[in-house]
Structure 1
């Protein structure tokens, strides 16, 4: 039987604004058989105080960014937002958060390049999302950052959370531990939320938006019904998704005003907690690296592949 050639895997730092998460830590490389197939950008772990020598001591390679980007598989957490996505060649593979289904520009780049994409957002094991910890961190980071910006403590606020998933759970943890009055609305309680909207100081959206929907849960006209100095924290941050007035923002410029209502719509809040996030990512992806390198069948990986030969944005 013909043995397939092992693939190489490259790890590069993100150039996205304030994106500090890295994908693989030295402490998890001991669980990987093919450490000699791993290539890291020079200075890869510097943000976490990890020296290049620590990767090299484990049998990995440290090279320039340009050299690492020539490897068979490229891993970067926010790879869908990377500046190099359109420069990759057919036959290469990407491994990270892609979000092509939500973004036409990313979908078009993948379709044109023919690059294979394993999308972290599509990875599930035994009906649990593989990166559920990162999703909780998104809720936790958004709450801590947004409240700090408005100069308020949660125990002074009444809060509505849309959704009951991992992002919602992370937000709840912080809010309830700090004494906020929290009310949670299921997807089938949108009408009830609309009726009770004027009661709240803070509205948190934690719903992964169904792209087939053309309506919104909150419209611009609803802003007039909110309390003075109310704030919207849109953790899901889909442009014109659940909240009509949401436009994704950055950690450097996280907020904007619409009709007197402050909007916080940062699209990568786990990076605010980059040490914790990096550890959780590293522990998870280490389970799949040997399968990727050795071309071994893996149901979780196969279920995450984004189609690149047909238009995938609807």
Structure 2
């Protein structure tokens, strides 16, 4: 069976959008005076950028090719949004040293919910209790299933992704030797 790698890409876009929607609501809003940075350029980042554009916010865009800029600027961010996952054992994108340099009112939104890896030391949160603060006063949002905030859209997105590759086949396919052997 030839199934594309990212059949639920629309749900990843929703993850970025929904994470921003809930986090910014809890923050009390966002203004054009806030210094905002987004790390990443994939589907989750696309959802984050759609949300920010709807609010008239033009964030700094950062990725691995210009990570040195993020490392230099991190202390000045009001809001930092991570949209990538890193492999187990890779060095974190945001270190504890960087977090300690950030202003105490800073918000860290991990829209990819890469708990403890991309942003060193973070812990998962849930929709019912989506934020926590560290000793310095930074607020963290690391909800691991934020698309469920938009459950109708998420259900359609996931269903479309799977239906296109699994349910469009005739029932005889599912009982064939080819399917069972795969």
TM-score by length of 2: 0.86
Query: Taking structure 1 as reference, are residues 203 and 296 closer, same or farther at Cα in structure 2, changes over 3 Å only?
Result: farther
State the match for 1:150 in structure 2. 27
State the match for 2:175 in structure 1. 294
Q: Does 1:231 align with 2:112?
A: no
| Structure exhibiting the larger radius of gyration computed from Cα positions | 1
Deviation at 1:229, TM superposition (A): 1.1
Q: How many residues align?
A: 174
94, 101, 105: which one pairs with 1:218? 94
Q: How far apart in 2 are the matches of 1:267 and 1:160?
A: 20
Deviation at 1:124, TM superposition (A): 5.1
Cα deviations by residue, 1:213-254 (Å, 9 ceiling, x for unpaired):
1x2121222223212311000112223211112111100011
Query: Taking structure 1 as reference, are residues 141 and 191 closer, same or farther at Cα in structure 2, changes over 3 Å only?
Result: same
Q: Return 5+ residue gaps in structure 2 as ranges.
A: none
Query: Taking structure 1 as reference, are residues 124 and 165 closer, same or farther at Cα in structure 2, changes over 3 Å only?
Result: farther
* Structure in which a larger fraction of residues adopt helix: 2
Cα deviations by residue, 1:179-228 (Å, 9 ceiling, x for unpaired):
11311112232222101112211000101212241x21212222232123
Contact 1:156 1:180 (C-alpha < 8 Å) held by counterparts:
no
Contact 1:154 1:175 (C-alpha < 8 Å) held by counterparts:
no
247, 256, 262: which one pairs with 2:123? 247
Q: How far apart in 1 are the matches of 2:40 and 2:177?
A: 36
Contact 2:111 2:142 (C-alpha < 8 Å) held by counterparts:
yes
Q: Does 1:178 align with 2:55?
A: yes
141, 151, 170: which one pairs with 1:274? 151
Q: How far apart in 1 are the matches of 2:18 and 2:145?
A: 9
Contact 1:249 1:264 (C-alpha < 8 Å) held by counterparts:
yes
Pairwise CA RMSD of aligned residues? 2.1
Correspondence 1:43-62 to 2 at 5 A: none
Contact 2:8 2:162 (C-alpha < 8 Å) held by counterparts:
no
TM-score by length of 1: 0.51
Equivalent position SS for 2:86? coil
State the match for 1:190 in structure 2. 67
Correspondence 1:300-311 to 2 at 5 A: none
State the match for 2:7 in structure 1. 130
Contact 1:234 1:246 (C-alpha < 8 Å) held by counterparts:
no
